[in-house]
Amino acid sequence: MKIILKQVTLLNPEQKLNEKNDLLIVDGIIKKIGNVKEEDFKESKIFEFENKICSPGFFDMHVHFREPGREDEETIESGSNAAAAGGFTGVACMPNTNPDIDSAEIVRFIKEKAKNHLVDVYPVGAATLARKGEALSPMYELFEAGAVAFSDDGVAIKNSGVLRNALEYSRHFGTPIIEHCEDESFSDGAMNEGLTSTMLGLQGIPNVAEDLIVMRDIIMSEFIGGKIHIAHISTKGAVEMVRQAKKRGAKVTAETTPHHFTLTDDSVKTYDTNYKMSPPLRSSEDVAAIIEGLSDGTIDCIASDHAPHAIEEKEMEFIFAPNGILGLETQLGLVLSELFHKKHLTLPQVVEKLAVNPRKILNIRIPDIKEGDAANLTIFDPNLIWTVDVSKFKSKAKNSPFDKRLMNGKAVAVINNSCMFFEDKFFSI
Amino acid sequence: MSLSNKHLLGLQNVPKEDIQLILDTARTFREVLERPIKKVPTLQGKTIVNLFYENSTRTRISFELAQKRLSADTINFSTSTSSAKKGETFKDTVRNIEAMKVDMIVVRHQSAGVPQYLTRISNANIINAGDGLHEHPTQGLLDMYSIHERLGKLEGLNICIVGDIAHSRVALSNIFGLKTMGANVSVCGPATMIPLGIESLGIKIFSNVDDAIAKNDVLNVLRIQLERNAGTRIPSLREYHKYFGITSERIEKNNKEIVILHPGPINRGVELSSEVADGPYQVILDQVTNGVAVRMAVLYLLGTMH
Ligand SMILES: [Zn+2]
Find the angle CA(A162)-CA(A182)-CA(A73) to the nearest 5 degrees.
Answer: 100
The answer to whether the CB atoms of A317 and B110 lie below 8 A apart is yes
**Using a CB-CB distance cutoff of 8 angstroms, which residues of chain B are in contact with residue A199?**
12, 172
pLDDT, residue B84, reads 57
Strand-strand pairing, A301-302 and A377-387: unpaired
pTM of the model: 0.93
Smallest Cα distance from B137 to chain A, Å? 13
* Residues of chain B scoring pLDDT < 50: none
The answer to whether the CB atoms of A201 and B131 lie below 8 A apart is yes
Task: Select the residue from B80, B81, B95, B133 to test the A interface by mutation, using most A Cβ atoms within 10 A.
Answer: B133
Q: What percent of chain A has pLDDT over 70?
A: 100
- CB count within 10 Å of CB A163 equals 26
Picking from B286, B222, B206, B287, the residue whose alpha carbon sits closest to that of residue B254 is B206
| Domain coordinates in residue numbering, chain A | 2-54+370-396+405-428, 57-362
Whether the Cβ atoms of residue A307 and residue A277 lie closer than 8 Å to each other? yes
pLDDT, residue B83, reads 57
Q: What percent of chain A has pLDDT over 90?
A: 95
Beta bridge partners of A123: A93
**A266 in contact with B, Cβ within 8 Å:** no
pLDDT, residue B71, reads 96
Residues of A (109-148) whose Cβ lies below 8 Å from B: none
pLDDT, residue A312, reads 87
Q: What is the mean pLDDT of residues A279-293?
A: 98
Instruction: Give me the residues near ligand 1 (ion), CB cutoff below 5 Å.
Output: A 153, 180
Interface A:B, Cβ pairs < 8 A: 68
pLDDT, residue B227, reads 67
**A104 in contact with B, Cβ within 8 Å:** no
Find the angle CA(A212)-CA(A339)-CA(A264) to the nearest 5 degrees.
Answer: 50
Q: What is the mean pLDDT of residues A139-163?
A: 97
Mean pLDDT score of chain A: 96
Q: What is the mean pLDDT of residues A369-383?
A: 97
Beta bridge partners of A18: A11
Smallest Cα distance from A201 to chain B, Å? 3
> Which of A255-264, A336-345, B88-97, B282-291 comes out lowest in average pLDDT?
B88-97
The answer to whether the CB atoms of B111 and A320 lie below 8 A apart is yes
**Using a CB-CB distance cutoff of 8 angstroms, which residues of chain A are in contact with residue B109?**
317
Pick the CATH number of A2-54+370-396+405-428 from 2.30.40.10, 2.60.120.10, 3.40.50.150, 3.90.230.10: 2.30.40.10
Picking from A144, A148, A47, A137, the residue whose alpha carbon sits closest to that of residue A94 is A148
**Using a CB-CB distance cutoff of 8 angstroms, which residues of chain A are in contact with residue B200?**
195
Residue of A202, A204, A318 with shortest CB distance to B196:
A204
CA of A233 to the centre of ligand 1 (A): 10
A57-362, superfamily in CATH?
Answer: Metal-dependent hydrolases (3.20.20.140)
Picking from A347, A328, A325, A310, the residue whose alpha carbon sits closest to that of residue A80 is A328
pLDDT, residue B100, reads 86
The answer to whether the CB atoms of A193 and B196 lie below 8 A apart is yes
The answer to whether the CB atoms of B196 and A316 lie below 8 A apart is no
pLDDT, residue A87, reads 98
